Amino acid sequence: MSEPHDPLSAFHLGDISVSESGVSASQRLCTRFADHRGLIELPALAVLFDHCGGIPFHGVHDDPAAATLQARLTMSTHGRADIGDLLAARAEVVMYDDAWGSTSVEIRTGAGDLCCVGTARNVRVGRAPTGATPAAELGLPTPRCADADESVLPEPIPAVLSGRAVVDEIASKMREPGPLTDMLNGRVEVIDGASDRESGIRFRSATEPWMGNMFGTMHGGVIATIAGQAASFAGHLHAGAGQEYSIGDMAIGFYRSPAVDGSEVVVEVTPIKLGRRVSSFEATMTSYDDVLLSRATVDIHYR
């Protein structure tokens, strides 16, 4: 797998095109974005969603010196994209003033099916960009995924294993955590509660410079990817043997952006309410020295 240079090249974003109030972009899905089940889930789409969600608000001000960020993302999914698919994203500012904006985002599969929709809450900030310019500049094509560049999918999960057994195997390194977790330098730990229904997940991710944004701190889409993948493991922890699940909704607020200097960020995921069809979790990200960075609520849908 080739080394990523920034979040856009890492997640194979390209074909970015900007209009007066909107933006479009593409993402080519590869095995490197698959989870521990070999599936493409919401976390793999978060960089595309976040990046497209920020460009239109920045564009309507037409002031390069006034940088903008996302304060919150709200994402809903239905269905699931496949490895090899070419996703198409579109985003447009729907309301804004000098300080705040709301941008609608939708992501469709190559067949034109809507698979993710939501909003980005934009905020204008006083800081000037200090980081490197992303590799996926306007007009550059979406990277193609050569076979030699792809990761190996994890072994199928036996249907007789409970979700707890699967996650325990991943935590003990008896089972592969999936290519996406590997790319995030992720490690999984199980947090045992007073009862099984109170147990959660601790997910550690070692940062790297490629995860950075224009300020040299972690890109919001990467933060959402890490938090979402951690929540996915928590969802599996509470799944029955052979039970299918997917991330249905995620709302994440960004409070501080972590450095990307090799230090570690930690996401702790705890159940809010466990249900037969929908379970809700809270995923809290902190820095290595316990500074609150972000917090997400995630709904897991079971089948």
Structure confidence at residue 39 (pLDDT): 98
Higher pLDDT, 23 or 134: 23
Q: Model confidence over 43-76: pLDDT tens digits?
A: 999 999 999 999 999 888 767 666 889 999 999 9
Q: Model confidence over 187-236: pLDDT tens digits?
A: 999 999 888 899 999 999 999 999 999 889 999 999 999 999 999 999 99
Structure confidence at residue 211 (pLDDT): 97
Higher pLDDT, 21 or 73: 73
Closest CA to 260 of 205, 187, 208, 206: 208
Contact (Cβ atoms closer than 8 angstroms) between residue 271 and residue 198: yes
Contact (Cβ atoms closer than 8 angstroms) between residue 75 and residue 47: no
> Which structural domains are found in the chain, ordered by start?
7-144+159-302 (2.40.160.210)
Other Cβ atoms within 10 Å of 282 Cβ, number:
16
Structure confidence at residue 2 (pLDDT): 59
Contact (Cβ atoms closer than 8 angstroms) between residue 71 and residue 57: no
Other Cβ atoms within 10 Å of 159 Cβ, number:
8
Phi, psi of 257, deg, nearest 5: -100, 125
Long-range CB pairs of 13-17 (<8 Å, 24+ gap) are 13/47, 13/48, 13/51, 13/136, 13/142, 14/136, 14/140, 14/141, 14/142, 14/143, 15/140, 15/141, 15/142, 16/55, 16/136, 16/137, 16/138, 16/139, 16/140, 17/138, 17/139
Q: Give the integer Cα–Cα distance in Å for 279 and 276.
A: 7
